[in-house]
Amino acid sequence: MVKTPKPKELTENLLEKPNLLRGDQPKQSWMETPVEFKPGTYCHAAKPKVLEGLGFPNPREWQPGDDDWQLPDGWEETILKGFQERLKKFRSFKLYMDICVRCGACADKCHFFLGSGDPKNMPVLRAELVRSIYRGEFKTAGKILGSIAGGRKMTIGVLKEWFMYFHQCTQCRRCSVFCPYGIDTAEITMMAREMMSLVGANINWIMEPVSNCNRTGNHLGLQPHAFVSSIRSLCEDIEEITGVSIDVPFNKKGAEILFITPSADAFAMPGIYTMMGYLLLFKHIGLDYTMSTYASEGGNFGSFTNNETMKMLNAKMYAEAKRLGVKWILGGECGHMWRVVHQYMDTMNGPADFLELPKSPITGTVFSNAASTKMVHIAEFTADLIKHGKLKLDPSRNDHWHTTWHDSCNTARGMGLLEEPRYVLQNVVNKFHEMPENTIREQTFCCGSGTGLNTDEFMEVRMKGGLPRANAVKYVMEKHDVNLLSCVCAIDRATLSSLVQYWVPGMEVSGLHELVGNALVFEGEKWPRAMDLREDEPYDYEEPEEEPEAEAPAEATEEGGEGDV
């Protein structure tokens, strides 16, 4: 025990293997630190067939882990030309290349940095990956002085770095909230992804849905009959559970309202319960609406690729609204769909002069905030219904849920939809607790899987990126017994489910309108009923013995009978 080797040396020997996360060479500047593609840390490359179908450049069989990316000759030129073109087209891009003072305020605001600890995930450094090329290729000082002036040349190493780190940014805009100049890394990520797609450095999880949406109208590439039968099958479930029979109109000309929601709500768990919620709501108020199989995807993975593709996919919404002759469009719960609808759609595909000023047929409320796009968010629509007392709600039907609210990045920081969903939520549930202040509203943490990164091969990075979100969820679970994380985003519904499985076992994820659907009280409905929309959550009918007067509304008396489960 007297002369053992120094304990530190022991560990150093044991852990000799170099790792990006280990500060092996603290002296090395970031420009000299190459990227390392390990399974779990990158998304698969886009398949050649998909790129070909869309007319994207350089389709080929390859993977990011390959040494040779099979780039076309002169690809550097292509990128640089694309770079200059974008500087001329986007003031945001040009300005954000120039004015960053590297104060570091954004450094610790990124969920990917907080979760991974990789310095290149600091928003400022992520942007510097591109700025260094800007300085090194286009600026006199950078061309002459090179790295002293913070410049470098476009090389394959840089492209690989871009590929890795611009696919570790979910364009959540949290950094932009804290930046004194509002520099938005999302803008830079969009540009970097556009430039990468000029030389065929795309990921499949984005490009395949784009291709599918374009032809069939939805991400999964499901044909019209599959879409219809899936929703019809959901209607059967609804009838079985609630006794309410619903017939969903599809592609119906002359309907008042066109309803568009992400296709995940038609196919995926737990989105389908949200879909059931919408359908119950529409039935409840007798809305004259239609869904479309042609525009059956609210989500827009084009917005994760380039602005042209975003425009092309988005154009279906207005095209279909025009064809069907509806008065206005109602949009379902989706994050990036609403970023596109709110900030891009009218500019790209407007003016929607064939539509009318949106007006709720039930309450008569005019949605003047959507006077030009003519598209209303369903949380706005439902909040208005509730405010006018048009819904018969029994929040106690959600008493098995103790909820908290996740603000989705896009609706929070790209739209400002904060209070509407909260108002709806608090009217359909009795138990609600906010997460800590610095993790919600405009400071909300991303799910870690947005912008087309929600693929399974990327799970490890997604878990890292989602850690700050999960951490706050865990806190309210432990402190307040919260068991349901509710949100208005389809990607959230899909990916937060996985996230909490890892970090916060026992937590469930739901959309807002699933809870609305649970709480809606219908004439002649099946009651007492044993289940909520998920079928596996039994109501506790033993309770009423202890006087149900708590805060149960009028129809609580009906609960008197013993329910058989």
Q: Segment 447-466, which members bind another protein (CB under 8 A)?
A: 456-457, 459-461, 463-464
Q: Which stretch binds another protein (CB under 8 A): 14-22, 70-78, 162-170, 516-524?
A: 14-22
Site map for another protein, 233-262, x if CB under 8 A?
Answer: xx---------------xxxx---------
Which residues make beta-bridge pairs with 485?
Answer: 404, 509
Least separation in angstroms between residue 520's CB and another protein is 21
Place of tokens 């479930």: 237
| Closer of 530 and 552 to another protein (Cβ) | 530
Q: Does 423 bind another protein (CB under 8 A)?
A: yes
Phi, psi of 260 (to 5 degrees): -125, 130
**What gap in Å lies between CA 355 and CA 52, rounded to an integer?**
36
- Does residue 468 have a cis bond before it (omega within 30 degrees)? no
Which residues make beta-bridge pairs with 257?
Answer: 289, 328
| Ordered DSSP codes for 422-438 | HHHHHHH-S-B-PPPGG
| Closer of 71 and 465 to another protein (Cβ) | 465
| Ordered DSSP codes for 8-29 | HHHHHHHT-S--TTS-S-TTS-
| Closer of 47 and 120 to another protein (Cβ) | 120
Site map for another protein, 393-412, x if CB under 8 A?
Answer: -------------------x
Q: Which stretch binds another protein (CB under 8 A): 70-78, 145-153, 522-530, 545-553?
A: 145-153
Q: Which of 274, 451, 486, 498 binds another protein (CB under 8 A)?
A: 498
Q: What is the CA radius of gyration of the chain?
A: 25
Helix (H) / strand (E) containing 536 = none
Q: Does 336 bind another protein (CB under 8 A)?
A: no
| Closer of 30 and 72 to another protein (Cβ) | 30
Q: Does 356 bind another protein (CB under 8 A)?
A: no
Q: Which of 80, 230, 400, 529 binds another protein (CB under 8 A)?
A: 230
Burial class for 565, CB neighbours closer than 10 Å (0-12, 13-18, 19+): exposed
| Closer of 76 and 384 to another protein (Cβ) | 384
Least separation in angstroms between residue 71's CB and another protein is 26
Residues 116-135 that bind another protein (CB under 8 A): 116-119, 122, 124-125, 128
Q: Which of 59, 468, 511, 517 binds another protein (CB under 8 A)?
A: 468
In three state form, how does the secondary structure of 262-330 look?
CCHHHHCCCHHHHHHHHHHHHHHHCCCEEECCCCCCCCCHHHHCCHHHHHHHHHHHHHHHHHHCCCEEE
Residues 96-115 that bind another protein (CB under 8 A): 96, 98-105, 107-109, 113-115
Residues 17-76 that bind another protein (CB under 8 A): 17, 19-23, 26, 29-30, 38, 41
Give every CB contact of residue 537 below 8 A, 6+ residues apart in sequence: 400, 531
| Closer of 179 and 337 to another protein (Cβ) | 179
Q: How many residues bind another protein (CB under 8 A)?
A: 168
**What gap in Å lies between CA 231 and CA 317, rounded to an integer?**
19
**What gap in Å lies between CA 402 and CA 553, rounded to an integer?**
18
Q: How many residues does the chain have?
A: 565
Least separation in angstroms between residue 482's CB and another protein is 15
Q: Which of 37, 80, 90, 246 binds another protein (CB under 8 A)?
A: 90
Q: Does 148 bind another protein (CB under 8 A)?
A: yes
What is the side-by-side strand order in the sheet with 508-511? 403-406, 484-487, 508-511
| Closer of 161 and 559 to another protein (Cβ) | 161
| Closer of 71 and 129 to another protein (Cβ) | 129
**What gap in Å lies between CA 435 and CA 404, rounded to an integer?**
7
Q: Does 177 bind another protein (CB under 8 A)?
A: yes
Least separation in angstroms between residue 472's CB and another protein is 5
Which residues make beta-bridge pairs with 260?
Answer: 331
Residues 518-547 that bind another protein (CB under 8 A): 534-536
- Pairing, β 375-377 against β 484-487: unpaired
State which amino acid sits at residue 221. Answer: G
Q: Does 266 bind another protein (CB under 8 A)?
A: yes
**What gap in Å lies between CA 261 and CA 299, rounded to an integer?**
7
Q: Does 187 bind another protein (CB under 8 A)?
A: yes
- SS3 for 540? coil
Site map for another protein, 295-314, x if CB under 8 A?
Answer: ------------xx--xxxx
Distances in whole angstroms, Cα of residue 266 to Cα of each of 239, 296, 319: 16, 9, 21
Q: Which stretch binds another protein (CB under 8 A): 55-63, 278-286, 501-509, 556-564?
A: 501-509
Least separation in angstroms between residue 78's CB and another protein is 20
Q: Which of 370, 393, 446, 482 binds another protein (CB under 8 A)?
A: 370
- SS3 for 485? strand
Q: Which two tokens stand for residue 35?
A: 């990227």
Q: Which stretch binds another protein (CB under 8 A): 1-9, 42-50, 193-201, 398-406?
A: 1-9
Q: Which of 78, 168, 171, 176 binds another protein (CB under 8 A)?
A: 176
Q: Does 515 bind another protein (CB under 8 A)?
A: no
